[in-house]
Amino acid sequence: MSDRRTLDRDSFIWVAVAVWSSLLPVLPGFPPWLSILLIVVATLGVATGLRGIKLPALLRLPLVMGLAGAAVVSAGAGLSQDTGAALLAAMLASKLLETGSVRDGRSACSFALFALMAGFLRDQGPINLLLALISSILILAALARLARNALHDDRSAPKALPALLAAGRLLLISLPFALVAFLLFPRFPAPLWGAPGPEDRARSGLSDEMSPGDIADMLLDESPALRVSFEGETPPRSALYWRGPVLSDFDGRRWSRLSGSSFGPTAPLEVHGPRYVHEVMQEPTDFRYLIGLDVPVEAPEDARLGRDRTLYSSTRHLGLRRYRVTSVADYVLEPGLDTSARQRNLYVPSDSNPRTRALIEQWRGEDSRPEALIQRALALFNASFHYSLSPPPLARNSVDDFL
């Protein structure tokens, strides 16, 4: 058996089909421009391979390095699952440029199997599962063809349909072993790949920041967060909104707390209703935030009101905490918004979400009154959207993709 034997045309076609079948399920998770680059490079690899042409290293190396750099840029800074998946897809597409031997073909099929696993990091739905099963059959059939190629046994190579049926039988035989391994093999507390995920599986609760475009699966945590008892009058159910951390800083994708919001004078408040005194028993958290009826006007002991009227504890409360808060439910926060506060809350990065900005400018041209803009936005939301705990992941311009 010779791994260095040159691939014949039929074997290369099997490898190319296997590579393409594993690339297709992962392409929708990448930015469109990267997907186009991957398709172009993979197509170039197929075209040169079918003609028996091997690009010179002076052309192949810059092309591969450029594609790898594009993959890293597409996933943003830092090491993440998205970065690894993009690099794996780039290597897989580039592998076709140099697939000329049996060993190269086996390497390409191995990369293809890893690409299938990378696809499941983003989507575990039935469509992706079906595509992965089809791709697995094609990869197994390609590996069987490569084994015959290495043994110089080309005459006994079956036609396409018998080869696929044989690969399907192998996959079917392996299912009981996979089931046993799934049930009996111990689970690791952390993923084997070790890279942080995009936090696409979120859990309801408190956090310092939120990136809605990264959430693909919301888990509802129904464990009690706090227990409240009111002294005297109880507010109506329609007023039972609770104030925690206020996320008012937006960078085009991620919402976070405004720098300095925990210090300085509290925002002015115009009160129109009664005060509600309530005792809160809050479960342990890793934060200093305390929760109170929206909006607090008096902080409990060992706590203070921030500029955005968020309650901050002087220490982290790692155990159950009981405190007393006074709040009002009928109010106008910052009735006279100063210039700096207005600029902070209206700021949007100029290089993010261009289609959304163009839509707002169109609305502004038709009617520039703030009330009219709000009504147009509410009409769009009420007519075109619905709530979901499993939204599709969004690219860098998350608001554009959402709309």
Quote the pTM value: 0.47
For 162-186, what is the mean pLDDT?
A: 75
Distance CA 307, CA 246 (A): 10
| Residue 199 falls in which region: left (phi positive, over 0), alpha (psi -120 to 50) or beta | left
Query: Confidence class of residue 87 from pLDDT cuts 50, 70 and 90?
Result: confident
Name the range with the highest mean pLDDT among 1-10, 49-58, 142-151.
49-58
pLDDT at 343: 81
Query: Cα 369 to chain center, whole Å?
Result: 36
Q: What angle do CA 214, 220, 225 make, to 5 degrees?
A: 115
pLDDT at 325: 93
Distance CA 16, CA 62 (A): 22
Question: Chain-wide mean pLDDT for the chain?
Answer: 78
pLDDT at 46: 84
For 101-119, what is the mean pLDDT?
A: 81
For 54-82, what is the mean pLDDT?
A: 77
Residue with tokens 């859990």: 203
For residue 247, is pLDDT > 50? Answer: yes
For residue 78, is pLDDT > 60? Answer: no
Query: Confidence class of residue 141 from pLDDT cuts 50, 70 and 90?
Result: confident
For 196-225, what is the mean pLDDT?
A: 61
For residue 151, is pLDDT > 80? Answer: no
For 214-236, what is the mean pLDDT?
A: 76
Q: What share of the chain is helix, strand, coil (3-state, %, to 5)?
A: 50, 15, 35
For residue 332, is pLDDT > 80? Answer: yes
Query: Confidence class of residue 198 from pLDDT cuts 50, 70 and 90?
Result: very low
For residue 173, is pLDDT > 70? Answer: yes
* Closest C-alpha to 204, from 192, 190, 193, 218: 218
In DSSP terms, 219 is beta-bridged to 203
Distance CA 6, CA 284 (A): 64
Query: Confidence class of residue 194 from pLDDT cuts 50, 70 and 90?
Result: very low
- Are 38 and 30 in contact by the 8 Å Cβ rule? The answer is yes
For residue 144, is pLDDT > 60? Answer: yes
What percent of the chain has a predicted confidence (pLDDT) above 90? 6
For 8-29, what is the mean pLDDT?
A: 82
